[in-house]
Amino acid sequence: MTDSKDKKVLLVECPQCQKKFDYHQSEFRPFCCERCKMADLYHWVSGNYAIPGKEANLDKTDEEEGENE
């Protein structure tokens, strides 16, 4: 049997909307709700979030690239 005093409460800020919520109670962690989770996914899929890297040269094959370096 669990006592209500034993339940942990961890208030965190949603990375999408900045609303404070109990981390342990959300099934959409680290987001507060499904809407925020889907909004974050949309930003990744649409290219709004991107990790910078070297631009790919699609005209050359991998072998040709190695010869020119």
More confident residue, 32 or 52: 32
What sections of 1-69 are H helices per DSSP? Answer: 34-46, 62-68
Ordered structural domains, the chain, with CATH: 9-47 (3.30.50.10)
Query: What does the pLDDT read at residue 1?
Result: 45
pLDDT-derived band at 59 (thresholds 50, 70, 90) equals confident
Report the chain's terminal Cα–Cα distance, integer Å.
67
pLDDT-derived band at 16 (thresholds 50, 70, 90) equals very high
More confident residue, 34 or 51: 34
Query: What does the pLDDT read at residue 7?
Result: 76
Radius of gyration of the chain (CA): 22
